[in-house]
Structure 1
């Protein structure tokens, strides 16, 4: 992107239930807004309430208020989706957003350097949401898309986030969400996941070895906010039969450079 110097240029150059988060009225409204606006809408009342962790009766009242104010829209048959005010807000945030331009520019340079699909995802509640994706040249691609929400424990991005949590918060999160399998390779035992997270902290990167999607192997390096907390990660996605695990690991330094360039950008 013209006018933006990137780090690599300069080197060469459905969450499960969310009851614990749905505390005050503002939390509940925001959780419901997020759940109702998730891909695949319109969503039924019961599903929105369960995803947001809000009792159904309270959810119905809040959702009606969000519809009345234009933040959500109702399909007239009990389904909810994003309303005009949310769509306008999203457009204002993303159009001409300097942070988005920087993220995309960094990912484009990284993608050209390594020849693979690259993404940045951040924690949103009890899931990972993909913010930016730059597809690689290979005709075989993973199924990810911008806005998609993915589990924390099955993805390399999610493992980067989990590895930064204090032990009590990690225990609470695993107990609340469970460790449901996405593939036969998913780590579903708490002890196994904890051991994996120790390696993530020591190495400074995480791997998803066909744990979220069969045939897809990913490597991610944490992205931190201005206070040093991990909020997400830069992720490289490869097709397992086209690139070995060892070759993917050789990309760590390039991904680490990009992640470092995004430090503090999102908070």
Structure 2
């Protein structure tokens, strides 16, 4: 029994130490530009074999690379991480004012979400000032099977992938109202693509309706969704189209600030 319990703990401890050691290596390369195995080992007061093993793993993932002198430098994957970090924070900064305008225009809670694996995550919120308002938590995660924002992301995935996700998220195929029918869900996603927005009618919580529209980056990929949540009686079906029109234009404005350019139709 003792071995069964202590071995996983030891493995976790060793794994954590390896990660910290790898980070120390990357920080040395960041400060020095280039460094060899011996130089790194001396700086970290470690043996060269350990440094070599870590460098080999980092090189396989592109986090370090060797130059002609056989010294190591930071690799292209570090740049990808940095760019992802920069884009994420730029997205929130650009979208913040748009969220504020949506909040004031519709007296609604405005939300920005991004895709994380097969879930959507709340990354920014501008909460309504109304006494009766919908609240959202930063970091809250939702499956791709429910909600206006989830539909926006799923609508621009391949239908085969969406079917795979629906089958893999068996515990999340219920909305607040009913069991999700895959064929019906796919048909709904096609409508989302045509209309340019997703709509949720009390799917996550009773008495709450939501709209969301896609935000694109300079490559045209959907990188986020922006939307509003309101008590159902404040978003009657007669107002959905007019509200969605404003939301779509807001999403396009944020997209343009991220470098997206609408595709011009060719003259016939």
Tell me the TM-score range normalised by the shorter chain.
0.5 to 0.7
Q: Which runs of 4+ in 1 moved over 4 A?
A: 59-63, 65-69
Q: CA RMSD in A?
A: 3.1
Which residue is 2:16 aligned to?
A: 64
Alignment check: 8 A CA contact 1:208 1:217 kept: yes
The correspondence for 2:212, drawn from 220, 223, 226, is: 220
Which residue is 2:126 aligned to?
A: 134
Which residue is 1:165 aligned to?
A: 157
Instruction: Note if 1:108 corresponds to 2:60.
Output: no
More helix by share: 2
Instruction: Note if 1:239 corresponds to 2:246.
Output: no
Larger radius of gyration, structure 1 or 2?
A: 2
- Hey, what's the Cα distance between the residues in 1 that align with 2:165 and 2:14? 26
Q: TM-score, normalised by structure 1?
A: 0.61
**Number of matched residues?**
189
SS at match of 1:119: strand
**Displacement, 1:162?**
0.5
Structure 2: which 5+ runs fail to align? 1-7, 24-84, 261-268
Which residue is 1:203 aligned to?
A: 195
**Which is further off, 133-142 or 149-158?**
133-142
CA distance 1:143–1:169, change in 2 (3 Å)? same
- Hey, what's the Cα distance between the residues in 2 that align with 1:257 and 1:222? 10
SS at match of 2:235: coil
Structure 1: which 5+ runs fail to align? 1-55, 72-92
Alignment check: 8 A CA contact 2:215 2:224 kept: yes
Instruction: Note if 1:122 corresponds to 2:114.
Output: yes
SS at match of 1:218: strand
**Displacement, 1:140?**
2.1
Alignment check: 8 A CA contact 1:183 1:214 kept: no
**Displacement, 1:127?**
0.6
- Hey, what's the Cα distance between the residues in 2 that align with 1:126 and 1:144? 19
